[in-house]
Structure 1
Amino acid sequence: MKKFYALLISQWFANAADSLYIVALISLLYKASGSGFSAAIFPIIVTLGMTASGFVFAFLMKKRSKEFLLLFTQLLKTAILFFIIFNNEASLLIIGPSVFLISFLDGFARPIQSAYIPILHNDLNKANSIVQGSNQLIQLLMWPLGAIIVSTVSSLFLLKVSVILYVISTIVTARFVSWMKSDSNETDKALDVEESTITSSMSFAESVKYVLSDKVSRKNTLLVATESLASTAWISAIFLVYISTHLNVDEKWWGILNAFYMISMIASSAILIKLNTKKTVISFSALVSVIATVMFGFAPNVYFAILACLIQGAALQVRSIQINTVLQTYVHHKRLPYVYSLQQTVYTIAFCIGSLLFGLLSDLIEIEAVYALAALIALMATIQSFNLERYLNKLTKSVDKNLEEHIG
């Protein structure tokens, strides 16, 4: 269990630094250029970096171990942030590629970290709840904290804080890697029933082929893509249009709605940890999301919109945790990094398409119609969820039947 918490703590420090350095760089560029474009382009750069990593992830996994890539990418992220601090030029030409590289390296770390969970923890629902809930809590706290530090001290000071957090994350990651290497043989023996039949490396093409051929991976990945597309209706930029055109309230409610949305996600993680349930409610939570989207899009007042945010945040979090749990349960741990990397690429591409689509539609049609479309996409995700759960039930019954025949 100590290895699980070492990995988790390294993630906490890295994620805190990720949030803080972005706040610092947005402020730094805006002050230097006076242009809102510099700030607006950051999410695009981050998304491009994460997407690009998926195409070379499999190649590097063939060359190096998971442990090496996890530690090396964190070291490089720290070095890049040091470079930004000691480079006096606050230019998008310098900062833009640096942010791209950090996001690119993040694209290696995240699939590997997710793939470690079934190796390190027996209760996957609980583990995923802890990981996602705690990381979202950090994100919720770090953005306002970063803004306070920038306004009271300076952007440069915040960057230095981010570097310190990266250094701590690197030290904890190094300790984790050391532990994993010391007992890697025992871990492999404990987990692998037919070790010789499972290859430990795949190319990008082989990863795609595997996901398409394995029903759990394919259904899971298609669901993730559809969810990503639907979830873009809940991003902050669309919220702002919704607040000004539908609710006709002050812009302060933009932050309030976002806060309630995030708090609901964190609270649902805490509830799942306490309940410790094994029951899968992916399809039910997907149906709840359809209802929440309609409620939000046609909310008669801001308080009804808050209620819809609370419902959607909880439903999405439960579903996200259980989708991860399904993948970690039914996919071999040696395949998981490749499946997660491909899913990450699919997710970011779908998110980009959704962001552009809903952003464009919010300028062309009524915002209520945008949320009606989002509800239809969420309904597609609900159908996919039912199909996934039905297949998992068939799979479980088949395993139980084979076990009974073997015992008999």
Structure 2
Amino acid sequence: MNRSFYSLLSSRSFANLAGSLYMMTLIAAVYQLTGSAAFAGAVSFVRSIAVLSSSFSLPFWYTKLTVANVTRLFLLLQCALSGLVAFSLAPLSSILPAPAFLGYAFGGIVLIGYVEGCASAAANALYPRLVEEDKRVQANSLVSTSMQMLSLLGWTAGGILVAKLGHSLVLQLSSGLLLLGCLFLVRLSHQEQIERKATASRSMLAGWTFLFTHPQMRIITWMDIIEGIAGGIWIGGVTLVFAQEVLQKDEAWWGYINAAYYAGTIIGGLITLKLSALIHRHLVSAIIVGSFGVSLFAYGYAFNTQAFIALAIVLLMGPLYQLRDIAQRTYVQQYTPLAEQPSVFAAQSTITYVLFGVSVLFAGTVADMWGPQAVYIVGGTMYLLSASTGFILKKKHAAAEGHESPPLSS
């Protein structure tokens, strides 16, 4: 990996930490002002909608700017908007009536969410442009592990910082972290031609077309959809109900389970980093093993009633999640032409956010109808179906390797 890759990784690390801190702070601020859990929850919902909208508009920006410049522009806008909200929140809270202040806060959340989504998606499209093909598993492992560690740090330390420093100071700290992220992008060097015309590869539907017409990508996309529907098994509400009703533990174990999950994904990232060369040679097999392993552990989690065994299962599940996700991301990077990657990743981002909403509704409905254990049984079945679909991908991949030229992105 070169200096530009580490510059981008450092920039996104600061941005990710800042994002975790300001989200937690805004949630706490809205809850303190309104006393409503619904309003506090709306912060995350509104942000998700804003990020979703960014994924639809990104192909347009790619026709105007290079991927690197889209990353720079929107991180700078995120820094500026976050700073504006951070330094204006305290003064406006004493001047504006509560409804107007809430409107201002949610307006800021929408704008920041949009530019954050653009910056993050553009960075994801930029990573494979900065590393050699045989280093992509290693690069993806570094990125994934760094983001998981910083998310854990941000969401863990955020509450402590808000309690000690107050909302405004933590938001200002977040803006400072974003500014550091912008400074790291100054060191990023990447030459790329800008296609001024809205060619087919840059059109709004190009990414969707590629995902559902390319033989291997179509299978990968259906695997993502199957697993995405099961993604809601780890949402906070279901985990909390499982801890209380099945494990017979209090709310503290909800936190322990979440911490074990993060720890497992961090360990998984380090393992995939160590085994990156082996995984790169067997990407499809790694995807299948990861999905199948998650399926088995989900079944085990569903039928287990011992709290410490549940923690161990979640911890061990983390590396399998990482193995599957990192191998899948590398496979998509390897078999998608560089010119198509920005729009493809934007389409994948849209699918992810839509599926998250569907999975939350799906998991909640299953839990209400049949109990929390049923959620993990259904989730395990979905991952098993995805792993089985992986064998179709393996067959298609072998056929393509035998008849086609080397990977499209090389």
TM-score (norm 2): 0.89
What is the DSSP-based 3-state SS (H/G/I as helix, E as strand, rest coil) of the residue aligned with 1:41? Answer: helix
For residues 80-95 of structure 1, the aligned pairs below 5 Å read: 80-85=81-86, 86-87=88-89, 88-90=91-93, 91-95=101-105
Number of aligned pairs?
387
Task: Please tell me whether residue 341 in structure 1 is matched to residue 351 in structure 2.
Answer: no
| 8 Å CA contact retained: 2:206, 2:344 | no
Q: Percent of pairs identical after alignment?
A: 26
In the alignment, structure 1 residue 327 sits paired with structure 2 residue 332: yes
* Conservation of the 8 A alpha-carbon contact between 2:68 and 2:123: no
Q: Determine which of 298, 304, 309 is the counterpart of 2:309.
A: 304
Instruction: Name the residue aligned to 1:406.
Output: none
Residue 55 of structure 1: how far off its partner (Å): 1.7
Do residues 103 (structure 1) and 116 (structure 2) align? Answer: no
The one-letter code matched in structure 2 to 1:334 is: A
Match of 1:116 among 106, 126, 144: 126
Deviation at 1:70, TM superposition (A): 1.0
Runs of 5+ unmatched residues, structure 1: 189-194, 402-408
Paired with 1:266 and 1:293, the residues of 2 have a C-alpha distance of: 19
Q: Contact 2:207 / 2:346 at 8 angstroms: preserved in 1? A: no
Gaps of at least 5 residues in structure 2 are: 94-100
CA contact (8 A) 1:129 1:273 kept: yes
Contact 1:14 1:169 in 2 (8 A): yes
Q: Does the Cα contact within 8 Å between 1:38 and 1:92 map onto a contact in 2? A: no
Q: Which of 120, 130, 133 lines up with 2:145 in the alignment?
A: 133
Write out aligned runs for 1:133-212 (5 A).
133-176=145-188, 179-181=189-191, 184=192, 201-212=201-212
Q: Is the 8 A contact 1:199 1:334 kept in 2?
A: no
Name the stretch that deviates more: 306-315 or 245-254.
Answer: 306-315
Q: Is the 8 A contact 1:217 1:339 kept in 2?
A: no
| Paired AA for residue 249 in structure 2 | V
Residue in 1 aligned with 2:64?
63
Shift of 1:342: 0.1
Q: Does 1:392 align with 2:393?
A: no
CA RMSD across the alignment: 2.1
Amino acid at match of 2:302: G
Q: Say yes or no: does 1:244 pair with 2:244.
A: yes
Displacement, 1:108? 1.8
Q: Structure 1 residues 199, 326: closer, same or farther in 2, change over 3 A?
A: farther
Q: Deviations over 1:300-331 (max 9, x none)?
A: 21122112212321111110000000011111
Once residues 48 and 385 of structure 2 are traced to their aligned partners in structure 1, the CA distance between those partners, rounded to angstroms, is 24
**C-alpha separation in 2, matches of 1:289 and 1:81:** 38
Instruction: Name the SS of the counterpart of 1:8 in structure 2.
Output: helix
Question: Any conservation in 2 of the 1:269–1:317 contact (CA below 8 Å)?
Answer: yes
TM-aligned CA deviation for residue 96 of structure 1: 1.8
Change (3 A) 1:225 1:107: farther
CA contact (8 A) 1:226 1:350 kept: no
Is contact 1:126-1:273 (8 Å) kept?
A: yes
CA distance in 1, matches of 2:302, 2:345: 32
CA distance in 2, matches of 1:221, 1:102: 29
TM-score, length of structure 1 as denominator length:
0.90
1:353 aligns with 2:358: yes
Deviations 1:340-370 (A, max 9, x none): 1000000110110010121233223211122
Equivalent runs, 1:31-46 vs 2, <5 Å:
31-46=32-47
Question: Structure 1 CA distance, aligned partners of 2:401 and 2:128?
Answer: 19
CA shift for structure 1 position 400: 8.0
- Given that 1:46 and 1:103 are in contact with CA atoms closer than 8 Å, whether structure 2 keeps it comes out as yes
1:201 deviates by: 4.4
Q: Report the residue type matching 2:60 in the other structure.
A: F
Residue in structure 2 matched with residue 314 of structure 1 by the alignment: 319
Cα deviations by residue, 1:70-100 (Å, 9 ceiling, x for unpaired): 1111111112112212143453322222222
Residues 289 and 311 of structure 1 are in contact (CA less than 8 Å); yes or no, is this contact kept in structure 2? no
Deviation at 1:288, TM superposition (A): 0.8
Partner of 2:97: none
Q: Which amino acid aligns with 2:250?
A: D
What's the offset of the Cα at 1:54? 1.9
CA gap 1:388/1:100 in 2 versus in 1, 3 angstroms: farther
Q: Could you tell me how far apart the structure 2 residues matched to 1:282 and 1:210 are?
A: 20
Go from structure 1 to structure 2 and tell me whether the alpha carbon gap of 1:385 and 1:101 turns closer, same or farther (over 3 Å shift): farther
Residue in structure 1 matched with residue 96 of structure 2 by the alignment: none
How do residues 221-232 of structure 1 correspond to structure 2 at under 5 angstroms?
A: 221-232=221-232
> Does structure 2 retain, via aligned residues, the 8 Å contact 1:58–1:201?
no
Task: Judge conservation of contact 2:51–2:116 (CA < 8 Å) in 1.
Answer: yes
The alpha carbon displacement at 1:399 in A equals 4.3
Equivalent position amino acid for 2:305 in 1 = P
- What's the CA shift string for 1:6-32, capped at 9, x where partnerless? 010000000010000011111111111
Stretches (4+) displaced over 4 A:
198-201
